[in-house]
A and B are shown apart, each in its own frame.
Chain A
């Protein structure tokens, strides 16, 4: 099971959290404003590796936290 260390509540199991998505990251090569907005709204890096994302501790302190997770192993790395 994936465990997440919540800064307020400590190490808690994943069913207590809600996934809030990876942090949007628009590549620099996209320069047109409209295209940047489109990318920001819809597109994902969806990397097979370490990603930075938001989680909401819904069944705990009800705060948002940012963490880094390795999607190839589904483990939190920082």
Chain B
């Protein structure tokens, strides 16, 4: 089998029922993973995933597929390391090939302060179970021979942290693997079913309103990406979320040769090579919040300038495609998972530009929370109430953005 062989998915579609134990809004990675783990880990299959478009059509289908755990606060390192390990065994568990490929990640630093931040991150990562080591410029060049250590004469590389466990996987296949696993066990996925309101009984959320009629539920969970504020507002829940566009691009295909994922903590850009050979690159999100998915020339210009300074061979490639997703960015750049203060409504949001790598651990933890009504210790620090308790989990440096 090679990675371009497609096999027909086994997706049993059913007519929607008018009542479920659990209704999950949003058929992206997080929503489908939660449904999958509810079915497989907890035997809860009376579940519907309600998706406004088709599954994976939102941010999951638009992201840049990087899986890593080199975060800057202990709670996040543990959470993402667990996710990285779940990804590693996901093919075996689901029987679906998600094209998982461990590549390692170089995170370049160009200043003394950048180097110091990387060193602090490596020490914390090692203490919390994620392998990250500091490497000299020469060692970085051995790991990635295409690097220009002078950074085009403008951004000399002083060192880097190397995170060997980092990987990539095919994003659509991750969606399909979870959808198939969940549907085979009886979960209903309702595509092209936008949620227009939340059913409320007193202070409690008891279901969702759709164009096809109301669906009642014991628990409603929002796994919506950029439009999460709209869903929360239907239950008068206020979220500290701003929706920013995030752009990415791919070049034409090129012989396989770029080994690791190359990321830059100070230029704020990253490059990896897809299985098809395309160079996939991204940078920071647009500074102003917006729901517009228009691509911009400024992004193209800025990301091209940055990546060609550290990887000059990219100058010879052509841009094939550029696109935009809309991200739910939290004020402390950490996710928000769990209770909303409104009974019957749970939320998993704040996934910003770092949601793909968290899909397995996020889904598993939310499934456990739904099944047991107990918040798993892995995500206890990521509740919405942390802002009221003045325990924000500030970790902007690890988001690779600003």
Contacts and interface: CB of A to CB of B under 8 A. Distances in A.
Given A46-B289, A48-B291, A71-B292, A39 B298 contact: no
B236 A46 contact: no
Contacts of A41: 387
> Interface residues of A: mostly helix, strand, loop or mixed?
loop
B242 interface: yes
Interface in B219-271: 227, 229-230, 236, 238-243, 245
Interface string B295-309: 011100000000000
A69 B388 contact: no
A44 B229 contact: yes
A30 B212 CA distance: 33
A31 interface: no
B242 A46 contact: yes
A69 B331 contact: no
A53 B92 CA distance: 49
B241 A15 contact: no
Place the interface of chain B in its size category.
Answer: 20 to 34
Contacts of A47: 229
Interface string A8-32: 0000001100110010000101100
A78 B287 CA distance: 19
B242 A44 contact: yes
B209 interface: no
B290 interface: yes
A48 B288 contact: no
Contacts of B298: 1, 14-15
Interface in A25-78: 27, 29-30, 38-39, 41-48, 51, 53, 69, 71-74
Given A15-B298, A45-B229, 8 more contacts: A14-B298, A19-B289, A29-B236, A44-B241, A46-B243, A48-B291, A71-B290, A71-B291
Interface of B: 227, 229-230, 236, 238-243, 245, 287-292, 294, 296-298, 331, 387-388
Q: Which 9 A-B pairs have the closest CB atoms?
A: A74-B292, A43-B238, A46-B229, A42-B240, A74-B290, A19-B288, A42-B387, A48-B291, A19-B287
Interface of A: 1-2, 14-15, 18-19, 22, 27, 29-30, 38-39, 41-48, 51, 53, 69, 71-74
